[in-house]
């Protein structure tokens, strides 16, 4: 898991070097004319930019490949370019970044080029050069190159980077997904357009909120429950295993068959969002083979936050990512443990976002597998899980003077380290009745074989659920075994 920083560091520095990823899609060249604005043109009411720097960067599918290389993966990219200067620039940049490339050149095609003029940190104008269509011969050559790469390199995962520039046709996408399915290679898609039938069978599709809205045919409100419900419907309609929705300041939402997970973005100053989607899909493709999906979307969310904080199309690198991970998780436990007044403010924010709050309570003296299973099931009932934790004095009154084994601060920190726990409140009373009254949870959860009319605080919750404990797991039994 992500809070195991040593294993994550080892994965980033060692395991990713062994990972082979094939990127297929629309290749672009990003050109930035950077300068200062000190006056307005006398010819028209427009700013005059005094250019002092010109930068050429890889864009589109090529930027996805650059992100993967920055993470340390072995990367190959396949796509189409024109027989022009921009195409030569793309090949040169790929070589300089040590990215293996197998590009099909098409006579008469113009390599897609996006040119931006930037004054200070403000983008003033962008103009594009492109030719979207390509002929059947180019498509046939592309399929041959893809087939050869899949057979000889045997990649761990494949990315389809669709920018609606012609490469990712129904024919090409279907060919990739079917070929990879036979080899048990996961395909991750950055989509465009409304016809997702061409992505049918993909392991994962990663739209932003606007792209998801386009597929639905109407604007989607950026609320957790609404986004997850729409994504689930679209996932089933087009036979896609997982959908990951990037939602700007609201973070990322993962929708798969068994669960929905929301990961909130860290607030930061945004300089440029161009390329953020490329960073997300590259990071997901790098992590889905060796890490769980929950960890994958968390890391992707963090990586995207890093690149939007820098001007221009910037790729992620493992040094920046590790630094941010260490900063992000350094005090994660303490951030979840709150006083009641502060927790009520946080709950209000969650509810404003349409999120359901789940509450449960206990002593959790020696955290064991039974507790973990119970809390995971509780969290799955809603969007946020809050735990009311009995104080040391409360535990002594309930369990006897020899308890608790672990003090309340240690118990709280252990619970806070669980990623599916969103908040902990330590309470002094024997029962959490007053705490439940103040919180008014959407769902009150109790473990064991209680009858609902026996559960304390049930009158203050919208719904009450009872989750049986796993047999064979008990703190008392653990203590007795230790004492034998």
Positions marked active-site: 278
- What is the CA angle 130-131-136, rounded to 5? 150
Report the 10 Å Cβ neighbour count for 20.
Answer: 18
- What is the CA angle 164-190-64, rounded to 5? 95
Q: Which residue has the tokens 């050429």?
A: 56
Of the candidates 295, 309, 305, the residue with the CA atom closest to the CA atom of residue 15: 295
Angstrom distance (rounded) from CA 15 to CA 295: 15
DSSP SS3 for 463: strand
Phi-psi region at 439: left, alpha or beta (left = phi > 0; alpha = psi -120 to 50): alpha
Angstrom distance (rounded) from CA 164 to CA 431: 59
User: In sequence order, what E strands does 304-459 have?
Assistant: 357-362, 384-390, 423-427, 443-447
Q: Which residues pair with 23 in a beta bridge?
A: 77, 159
- What is the CA angle 158-288-181, rounded to 5? 45
């Amino acid at each position: 898991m992500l809070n195991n920083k040593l294993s994550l560091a080892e994965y980033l520095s060692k395991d990713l070097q062994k990972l082979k990823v094939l990127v297929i899609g629309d290749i672009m060249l990003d050109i930035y004319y950077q300068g200062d604005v000190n006056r307005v043109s006398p010819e028209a009411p427009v700013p005059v930019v005094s250019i002092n720097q010109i930068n050429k960067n890889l864009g589109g599918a090529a930027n996805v490949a650059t992100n993967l290389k920055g993470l340390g993966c072995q990367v190959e990219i396949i796509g189409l370019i024109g027989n022009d200067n921009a195409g030569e620039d793309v090949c040169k940049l790929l070589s300089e970044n040590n990215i293996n490339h197998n590009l099909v050149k098409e006579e008469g095609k113009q390599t897609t080029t996006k040119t931006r003029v930037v004054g200070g940190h403000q983008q003033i104008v962008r103009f594009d050069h492109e030719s979207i269509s390509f002929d059947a011969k180019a498509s046939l050559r592309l399929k041959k190159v893809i087939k050869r790469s899949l057979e000889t390199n045997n990649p761990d995962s494949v990315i389809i980077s669709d920018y609606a520039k012609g490469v990712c046709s129904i024919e090409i996408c279907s060919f990739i997904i079917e070929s990879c399915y036979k080899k048990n290679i996961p395909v991750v898609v950055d989509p465009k357009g409304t016809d997702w039938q061409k992505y049918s069978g993909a392991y994962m599709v990663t739209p932003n909120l606007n792209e998801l809205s386009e597929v639905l045919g109407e604007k989607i409100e950026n609320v957790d429950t609404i986004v997850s419900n729409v994504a689930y419907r679209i996932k089933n309609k087009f036979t896609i295993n997982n959908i990951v929705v990037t939602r700007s300041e609201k973070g990322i939402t993962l929708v798969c068959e068994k669960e929905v997970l929301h990961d909130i973005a860290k607030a930061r100053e945004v300089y440029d969002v161009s390329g953020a989607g490329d960073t997300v899909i590259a990071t997901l493709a790098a992590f889905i083979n060796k890490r769980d999906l929950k960890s994958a979307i968390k890391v992707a969310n963090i990586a995207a936050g890093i690149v939007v904080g820098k001007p221009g199309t910037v790729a992620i690198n493992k040094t920046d990512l590790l630094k941010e991970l260490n900063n992000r998780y350094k005090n994660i436990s303490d951030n979840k443990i709150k006083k009641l007044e502060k927790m009520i403010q946080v709950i209000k924010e969650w509810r404003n976002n349409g999120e359901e709050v789940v509450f449960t309570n206990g002593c959790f003296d020696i955290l064991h597998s039974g507790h973990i299973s119970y809390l995971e099931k509780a969290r799955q009932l809603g969007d946020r899980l809050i735990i009311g934790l009995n104080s040391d004095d409360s535990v002594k009154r309930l369990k006897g003077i020899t308890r608790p084994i672990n003090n309340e601060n240690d118990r709280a920190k252990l619970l806070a380290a669980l990623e599916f726990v969103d908040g902990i409140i330590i309470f002094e009373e024997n029962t959490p009745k007053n705490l439940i009254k103040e919180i008014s949870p959407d769902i009150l959860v109790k473990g064991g074989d209680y009858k609902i009319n026996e559960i304390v605080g049930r009158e203050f919750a919208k719904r009450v659920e009872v989750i049986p404990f796993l047999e064979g797991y008990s703190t008392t039994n653990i203590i007795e075994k230790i004492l034998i």
